Amino acid sequence: MKKLAFLTVVAGIAFSCSQPSKTTQVMNPFFETYTTPYEVPPFDKILNAHYLPAFQEGMKQHNAEIEAIVSTAETPGFANTIEALDRSGELLTKVSSVFFNVKEANTNDSINAIAEEVAPLLSQHTDAILLNEALFARVKAVYKQKDNLGLNAEQARLLNETYKNFVRGGANLAADKKEELKKVNEELSLLELKFDKNLLAETNAFKLVIDKQEDLAGLPENVMAGAADEAKAAGMEGKWVFTLQKPSWIPFLTYAENRDLREQLYKAMFNRANNGNENDNKAIINQFVNLRLKKANILGYESWSAYVLDDTMAQKPENVYNLLQKVFNPAIARAKEEVSDMQKMAESEGGKFKIESWDWWYYAEKVRKAKYDLDEEQLRPYFEVNNVRDGAFTVATKLYGLTFTKLENMPLYHPECQVFEVKDADGSLIGVVYVDFFPRESKKGGAWMTNYREQYTAADGNNVRPVVSLTCNFSKPVGDKPALLSYDEVETFFHEFGHGLHGLLSQCTYVSLAGTNVSRDFVELPSQIMEHWAAEPEVLKMYAKHYQTGEVIPQELIDKMEKAGKFNQGFVTSEFIAAAFLDMDFHTVNMPGEFDVNEFEKKSMKKIGLINEIIPRYRPTYFAHAFSWGYSSGYYSYTWAEVLDADAFNAFKETGDIFNQEVAKSFRTNVLERGNTDEPMKLYLNFRGKEPGIEPLLKNRGLL
């Protein structure tokens, strides 16, 4: 998941801008109450020209709200300081949530230019709150009397989190250190934009153009048809084009018999933003590492990881390294066995070469076919994208009583979007969810969930329901065929839908604690537990239906899926854990200085014993999770949360009913509805009654 965060702790600066004229206010949708169904953003009326004035006015209004908190003659209290702060910045949040989400999903040069102008202003704006001495004095005054205020559990959590965020934001620093911190934060905000801009440009720039039919040998018909469509869209009708989007390059690497072309496409993928051109990210990574270290040192931490992890379940870098090593050791041992199987397969076909990383997908698929008589392409016809979507919805219906109704004629940020109303079993509104399935040049890679509006309880007691978005990059429709997904894409949708449920089912008072506003190593629990249902035979029979005949997936295929379910887990786990190690190594650097990014990666991977046939899932120059998506020192969190989700799903399995209503109700009320209203492990213990161990994770991956 990539969850976009906007001013979770909001503050103000004296930003000089004139009051918009009444005419401008009327014409700018952000200055009006949305009159759309469910008050979703009026995407059809929002122009790029509306963003900057709305940002400016939002900061101006926010400044006034902060000044009102600071200047009141009332004694600092929970309501007039902590609660007032949480409720401030409504307009700024309103425009930010639309702008940054649209930028991720449907950007253009104008939006990118606005982002570069706005990013430092927002950094300054946030810093001014966290470093506002008068405001922090009030927060501290309330915090000191917290035990005497009669606060309920959620209020106490908000007070603790608010105070902690100010301290972590530099409120206790000396004046000169505060100025240093401001500059670092501003530089970091711009680096994130540059990193993403370079990566998107590199991803879009490369095309493998094939004009000889024989070079397509081995490729399934639908893959060739998709490449022909891609070529036609690029003005090269009669040829075939493969891109660096996953739905394009992964099938090519899996099935193309031409080893040289596989190598060419693969190297283009793993060398993105690492080619010494204007889109190269190596210098930016140097700046990231040094600036993050500088910020951590200013705040009293020896490394960026130490700073980040101090606010997570893991708490310390050594705890993360310990977990990663426990998973990596059995994974790499299994991966070596997998390499041996593939080498034998290659040699049996007359290959006189050593298996390389660009061979893995191709020969792994051959070994799987030989061992389990299962081909990925046998499964695709049963995973039509809308059926998969409905399958996830059905799981939520059976677990939580939710219903999903497609909405027509809704404002959309892109024509391909779908929109659904979500209601509870009693008919009350849960929220609205947008779904955006397919890749395009204006969209970042990957898949993520985010919000256009968070859930919270307004000052008048109204329970404001969320507007959630699930954004993916899945296999497109080809010719007269609908979009048919790989099983990996199926799991990805269930994953993001799990995040969506976390946001949708939130029942919190305060917006900064609501939904997915939890620590990184807890936020992946609701998403990853959903993946378990995707492969359950009972669930497969609900949604896996042949796109032409409507035939439910046959038991024979389900049996093969189950037998092959743990196949290739040495590779999958090793490449993932390798990336998590790499993320940690970059951010446990404790001495400033310039370094060679590629050499740093080599040393990092040599240290853990990664074999040459595997590279990290993300090499540094396109490792957006670590450098621009908010997961720095946090990529491990998927594995940390997998310890939780494997144990949590066992709570259902132990009852003999994967839709057990008692367990589902407990998970909903103790985890999904609670957001960040208590310590994550306490929330988990309230659900499960015990702490999890690592064994279920290793068992699920077949690594015990």
Tens-digit pLDDT profile for residues 354-371: 999 999 999 999 999 999
Q: Which residues contact 56 (CB under 8 A, 6 or more apart)?
A: 15, 17, 20
Secondary structure element (H or E) that encloses residue 528, with its range? helix 520-534
* Residue 588: C-alpha distances to residues 282, 302, 570, 604, 621 (Å): 18, 8, 26, 12, 18
With a cut of 70, say whether residue 521 has pLDDT above it. yes
Tens-digit pLDDT profile for residues 256-314: 999 999 999 999 999 999 999 999 999 999 999 999 999 999 999 999 999 999 999 99
Tens-digit pLDDT profile for residues 6-27: 343 332 222 233 334 334 445 8
Mean of pLDDT values over 610-636: 97
pLDDT of residue 304: 98
pLDDT of residue 2: 39
Q: What is the DSSP letter of 610?
A: -
What is the rounded average pLDDT for all residues in the chain? Answer: 95
Tens-digit pLDDT profile for residues 388-409: 999 999 999 999 999 999 999 9
Topology, domain 381-563+637-700:
Neurolysin; domain 3 (1.10.1370)
pLDDT of residue 21: 39
Closest by alpha carbon to 704, among 522, 614, 573? 573
Burial 357-381 (b: 16+ CB within 10 A, else e): bbbbbbbbbbbbeeebebbbbebbb
Task: Report helix, strand or coil for 645.
Answer: helix
One-letter amino acid for residue 59 of the chain = M
Check: CATH 3.90.1150.10 for 22-130+132-168? Answer: no
Backbone angles phi, psi at 105, to 5 degrees: -100, -20
Mean of pLDDT values over 306-325: 98
Backbone angles phi, psi at 421, to 5 degrees: -85, 135
CA distance 648 to 650: 5
CA distance 511 to 540: 36
Tens-digit pLDDT profile for residues 33-73: 999 999 999 999 999 999 999 999 999 999 999 999 999 99
pTM: 0.95
**Distance separating the N- and C-terminal Cα atoms of the chain:** 28
pLDDT of residue 561: 96
Mean of pLDDT values over 227-254: 97
Mean of pLDDT values over 250-257: 97
pLDDT of residue 53: 97
Q: How confident is the model at residue 119 (pLDDT cuts 50, 70, 90)?
A: very high
pLDDT of residue 25: 47
pLDDT of residue 15: 25
Looking up tokens 């939006």, which residue turns up? 111
CA distance 536 to 653: 11
SS (H, E, C) 99-110: HHHHHHHCCCHH
With a cut of 90, say whether residue 231 has pLDDT above it. yes
Task: Report helix, strand or coil for 452.
Answer: strand
% of the chain residues with pLDDT over 70: 96
409: its two tokens? 């004629």
Q: How confident is the model at residue 704 (pLDDT cuts 50, 70, 90)?
A: confident
Closest by alpha carbon to 459, among 4, 74, 84, 35? 84
Range list for CATH 1.20.1050.40 in the chain: 22-130+132-168
Tell me which residues are annotated as active site.
496
pLDDT of residue 20: 41
pLDDT of residue 162: 98
Of residues 191 and 5, which shows the higher confidence score?
Answer: 191
